[in-house]
């Protein structure tokens, strides 16, 4: 059979006025142009970062990984005091802050963050949300949360009582994380999740998956590119987990909204002496009478859920580890708690303010093991530090709370920004009183039930991620208090 080309006839696509080879050529030129422009953009970005960090000496970088394998090493903070650059790959970097004078300047300025919700908003919208949500953390609102937290803690302690019969050390972090999530869902949603006893709940699994995947993405620098991450298996898993979490949050919000349409139910809520976090969000209005949109509602609830349970779980787990390491302080705290409670077996709001020595131990634990080891911001304005060094607008910086805290002075002589477990400035943690209450309740009830001692064969290995965790968990031996 004679080919079309051999007969001198034009191919079918030429009849349509289209030259497919020309299309391929143009596509190749377009693709190459995009690659070249991206390379130029990355080169310019790298040069800008090198210029911005020129006055800040730092650790030598790997040509491909940057400092990815060095992140979290406290030796770098000792070698490069005040601040030093950290590179993720060759084109992304931030300035690591380790000195309270630098932290003071940066917290005073604020700046942009990466996460959506109150945690990450900036400018007028952040101020509007902060103003609307602040009443949700008033003492009168937090008071009824104490028995809810106590109930969740007791469920965890009952599980531990069954585990100690096996005569093995108990890994705390997972149990504590479920307990704090259970508490958050009761306090924020008035929702009984039973997550401590029923791990099959899809929402609970989604929350754990999201926390893990966010940490995982930070450690793999190609995943910092949105397109690469969304096309990856981990990106697909992250989107799926987010969809599950958002579906649950949306469902709870819509069900509460529907119930409030009923006049009797609305009157019942308005007459309630104490509202949960979702009630406050739904009733929040600014000076113009405008409330939060559905998207804003979901963002704030998700922020409160994810950041509230994981950070507090870290704080409680490391606190109990500290108690195990120092049995004399553990016993003194136990005696203080017994004296406060007397014959009672549970804790009340008024008891929390009397836990003087226990509060000192909690703060020392937060100093040594801050739940959030670093706080990241993007500068919205150029900044000059006390030693004359400057940073331009747009640079990302991170205050490393985990190394800022090592100060031997007494509280009265301590720098105002040397102890920052809940950050500082206008963007400090809005839920810090809620977190402190949960730490006190968990400590008190745990020490009433168990004596804690460390598993010397399996000490924790700190890994500072979004929250401070242990690579191998936190294992303690528990002995029932007689």
Per-residue pLDDT tens listing for the chain (482 residues): 444 445 555 555 554 455 777 888 888 999 899 989 988 988 888 898 899 888 999 889 888 878 877 766 667 777 888 888 988 778 888 888 888 888 888 777 755 554 444 344 455 666 667 777 777 777 788 898 999 999 999 999 999 999 987 778 999 998 999 999 899 888 887 888 888 987 667 777 787 788 788 878 877 777 877 888 999 999 999 999 988 888 888 888 888 888 777 766 667 666 665 667 788 888 777 677 777 787 888 888 877 777 778 889 999 999 999 999 999 999 999 999 999 999 898 899 999 999 999 999 999 999 889 888 777 777 878 888 888 898 888 877 666 554 454 544 455 566 666 666 666 565 667 778 889 999 999 999 999 999 999 999 999 998 877 788 899 999 999 999 98
Distance CA 46, CA 39 (A): 10
Distance CA 433, CA 219 (A): 31
Tell me phi and psi for residue 382, to 5 degrees: -60, 155
**Residue that has been written with the tokens 């190394």 in this structure:** 403
Binding residues are: 429
Distance CA 445, CA 447 (A): 6
Distance CA 328, CA 307 (A): 32
Residues composing the chain:
482
Distance CA 424, CA 412 (A): 18
Residues of 152-171 as b/e, b for ≥16 C-beta within 10 angstroms?
bbebbbeebeeeeeeeebbb
Quote the pLDDT of residue 277.
79
CA 467, 473, 477, 482 torsion-angle sign = positive
Token reading at 465: 């991620």
Strand-pair partners of 468: 464
Has this prediction a pTM greater than 0.85? Answer: no
Instruction: Give which of 333, 34, 304 is closest to 191, Cα–Cα.
Output: 304
Tell me phi and psi for residue 126, to 5 degrees: -60, -45
Distance CA 391, CA 389 (A): 7
First vs last C-alpha separation in the chain: 98
Instruction: Give which of 368, 328, 345 is closest to 453, Cα–Cα.
Output: 328
Instruction: Give which of 160, 150, 153 is closest to 477, Cα–Cα.
Output: 160
Distance CA 24, CA 303 (A): 47
DSSP three-state, residue 462? strand
Token reading at 458: 């399996």
Cβ neighbours of residue 147 closer than 8 Å, sequence gap 6 or more: 346, 348
Quote the pLDDT of residue 7.
53
Quote the pLDDT of residue 421.
67
Query: ∠ CA 100-101-106 to the nearest 5 degrees?
Result: 90
* Rounded alpha-carbon distances, angstroms, from residue 230 to 212, 239, 310, 462: 16, 8, 25, 29
Strand-pair partners of 384: 390
Binding residues for heme are: 429
Distance CA 185, CA 167 (A): 32
């Amino acid at each position: 059979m004679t080919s079309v080309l051999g007969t001198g006839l034009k191919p079918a696509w030429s009849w349509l006025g289209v030259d497919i080879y020309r299309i391929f050529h143009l596509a190749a030129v377009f693709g190459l142009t995009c690659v070249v422009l991206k390379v130029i953009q990355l080169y310019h970005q790298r040069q800008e970062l090198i210029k911005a960090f020129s006055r800040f000496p730092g650790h030598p970088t790997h040509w491909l990984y940057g400092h990815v394998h060095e992140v979290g090493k406290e030796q770098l903070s000792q070698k490069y005091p005040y601040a030093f650059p950290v590179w993720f790959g060759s084109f992304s970097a931030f300035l690591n802050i380790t000195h309270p004078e630098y932290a003071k300047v940066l917290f005073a300025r604020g700046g942009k963050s990466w996460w959506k919700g109150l945690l990450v908003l900036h400018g007028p919208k952040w101020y509007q949300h902060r103003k609307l949500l602040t009443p949700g953390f008033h003492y009168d609102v937090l008071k009824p949360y104490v028995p809810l937290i106590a109930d969740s803690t007791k469920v965890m302690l009952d599980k531990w009582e069954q585990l100690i019969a096996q005569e093995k050390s108990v890994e705390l972090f997972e149990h504590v994380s479920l307990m704090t999530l259970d508490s958050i869902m009761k306090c924020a949603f008035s929702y009984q999740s039973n997550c401590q006893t029923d791990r099959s709940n899809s929402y609970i699994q989604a929350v754990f998956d999201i926390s893990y995947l966010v940490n995982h993405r930070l450690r793999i620098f190609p995943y910092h590119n949105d397109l690469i991450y969304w096309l990856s298996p981990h990106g697909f898993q992250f989107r799926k987990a987010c969809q599950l979490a958002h579906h649950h949050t949306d469902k709870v919000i819509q069900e509460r909204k529907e119930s409030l349409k009923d006049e009797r139910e609305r009157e019942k809520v308005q007459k309630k002496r104490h509202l949960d976090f979702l009630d406050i969000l739904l009733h929040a209005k600014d000076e113009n009478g405008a409330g939060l949109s559905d998207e804003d509602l979901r963002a704030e609830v998700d922020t409160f859920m994810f950041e509230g349970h994981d950070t507090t779980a870290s704080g409680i787990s490391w606190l109990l580890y500290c108690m195990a390491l120092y049995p004399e302080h553990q016993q003194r705290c136990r005696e203080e708690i017994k004296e406060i409670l007397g014959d009672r077996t549970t804790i009340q709001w008024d008891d929390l303010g009397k836990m003087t020595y226990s509060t000192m131990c909690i703060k020392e634990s937060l100093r040594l093991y801050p739940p959030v080891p670093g706080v990241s911001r993007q500068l919205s304005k150029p900044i000059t530090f006390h030693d004359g060094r400057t940073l331009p607008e747009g640079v990302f910086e991170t205050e490393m709370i985990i190394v800022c805290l090592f100060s031997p002075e007494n509280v009265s002589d301590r720098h105002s920004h040397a102890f920052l477990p809940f950050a500082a400035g206008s963007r400090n943690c809005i839920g810090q009183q809620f977190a402190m209450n949960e730490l006190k309740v968990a400590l008190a009830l745990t020490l009433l039930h168990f004596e804690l001692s460390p598993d010397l064969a399996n000490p924790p290995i700190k890994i500072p991620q979004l929250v401070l965790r242990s690579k191998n968990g936190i294992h303690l031996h528990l002995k029932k208090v007689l």
